[in-house]
Each structure stands twice: as structure tokens, then as C-alpha cells.
Amino acid sequence: MINKEVITNWFMSLQDDICRQLEDADGTAKFKEDAWQREGGGGGRTRIIEGEVIEKGGVAFSAVHGETPAKILEALRLPETDFYATGVSIVMHPKSPMVPIIHMNVRYFEMENGSSWFGGGIDLTPHYVDPEDAKYFHQELKKVCDKHHTSYYPRFKEWADEYFYVRHRQETRGIGGIFFDRLTEDEQMNKEHLFRFVQDVGQAFAPLYTYFIRKNKDKPYGEQEKNWQLVRRGRYVEFNLVWDKGTKFGLDTNGRTESILMSLPPQANWFYNHQPEAGSPEQKTLSYLKKGLNWVS
């Protein structure tokens, strides 16, 4: 039987497995764990790595519960009820600008009134968009989705394009991926099926990212590429602090600030009215930051 205890324990094991694979890919660094308790109920394990390949990365597990804040009830259009939320959230900021930033989140919510749902997704934010890498990334995600339902990839890919859109910049955060929220069981998809899908999404993360590490970590770069990396990190920060619902949920539920903001890079820059040179690799990357690009055909 699938219940919150089974889901929570699996998320904990997923954190362990991903951390092992990322340590192997980095080659030198080990994760440092920061276990914490939430005053309102529950807690988590935040793990941070600072290595040769991954400049700053976080793999966080949490399982929190308690009284649902009024802001959340209003946003979800729910009556007053307690909540339980558990999941794994990951952001990797590499040292090399030739290796992409990646984010993943898989989560489960359960309300005291009996309603429950899954959410999550994976998206990729290259500092320099390589169409070959983008195609590989989306093809792999499509395989995961098609295993469960052929409607999942187009539906969740479009959802990611919309969600990871930096509206005030009129550009996507990166090349997207898949995003889904409030997936509830129905006549076609029961809770067991939805959980298997979320499990497959979670297990796809480490093989995908270690592939990009191996492929790109030894590519040469210079000061121009590092400066551009800092500009793109700045855009990443803008999205997370202005638009990301997960950040807002964590802060609104009195979550642990250090864990919520682990997604931010160690350094970022904001140059006034920064405009890449016409025809440059930087300008070409900006041309790919659009909704609706088809990477799988």
C-alpha cells in the first residue's frame, strides 16, 4: 500500500543514491549533511557539496507537517486543514561554464482532509546552449514520460516552458524540461501509478547529470565564458526569488531559510544593460531561450 510513510522513506533513499552518484562524478568532494528540525513539525536533511566539478550543489530531503498557513490554503483553494509535505529538491551549480546548471524536484503533499497529490520535474539551464545536449536531455525525459503515458511529455514539457519563464526578461530560464504539479489519482491513474512515475523521474536525474558532467567538464574556457556564467547565474537568481512557487511555499510555511535558498549560486553578477555581441556564442544562447522549441524531432 502506498502511503506517506512509504513515499517518505523512498525519498530518503533517493537522496542517498543521488549523493553517491554525484560524489563519484565530482571525483574529490563529499556531501556535508545538515540535519534540521522545523518548529511547526517535521524536519529534513540538507546536503551540500563543494568540489572540483560542482562548485556548489545541494540535495535536500524534507518531511514537514502542521497547520497550513492561510496563504497556502488560499492559493490551493482549500478549507482550513493541516498538511504533510515531503520530497527531494536538487540544484547543481558547476564550476565550469561549459557544464549546465540543473534542477530537480519530486514531492508529495497530503492534507488532513484526505486530498493528496504529487509534483515535480527536471529542467536544465546551460550557460551555453548546445543543441545536441538539449536534444539528448529532452529525448531522455520523453522516454521516462512515455513509459507511463504518451500524453505526459508534451503536457509536462509545455508546463515547464510556462513555469520556468522569466517574465520580466521575456526569456526562459534555460532549455526547460518537464514540470508537473497537483497530479491526483483518477479512474485511469491511481496513486501507485503516479508514485512509480515520480520514482522514475527521480531516478533519471543522476544518470542525466553525470552524462553532462563527463561530456563537458574538460572543455576549455576563459574569462569571457566565466563572466557570461555569472550573468546567467544572475538570471537564475531572479527567477528563484521572484517567480518560483517552491521558494514562496517554503518561506510561507516557516521553512528553514538556508535549505530553501540552497538553490542560489555561490556568485552571480548583474551588469547594467548587458548586451552580448551580435553573432557571439552568448547571443546565440539567448536565441534559444524561448518557449515552445521542439527538441525531440
Nearest-angstrom CA–CA distance, 33 and 189 = 36
SS3 content of the chain, % helix, strand, coil (to 5): 40, 25, 35
Is the dihedral angle over the CA atoms 63, 239, 194, 203 positive or is it negative? negative
Strands 176-183 and 54-67: unpaired
**Contact in structure between 88 and 14 (CB atoms under 8 Å):** yes
Burial of 218 (0-12, 13-18, 19+ CB in 10 A): exposed
Residue type, 4: K
Which residues are identified as catalytic?
A: 103
115 contact partners, CB below 8 Å, separation of at least 6 = 78, 184
Nearest-angstrom CA–CA distance, 129 and 132 = 9
User: Quick check: helix, strand or coil at residue 258?
Assistant: helix
Nearest-angstrom CA–CA distance, 167 and 118 = 26
Sheet of 176-183: strand order equals: 32-37, 42-49, 54-67, 82-94, 101-111, 116-125, 176-183
Q: Can you give the length of the chain in residues?
A: 297
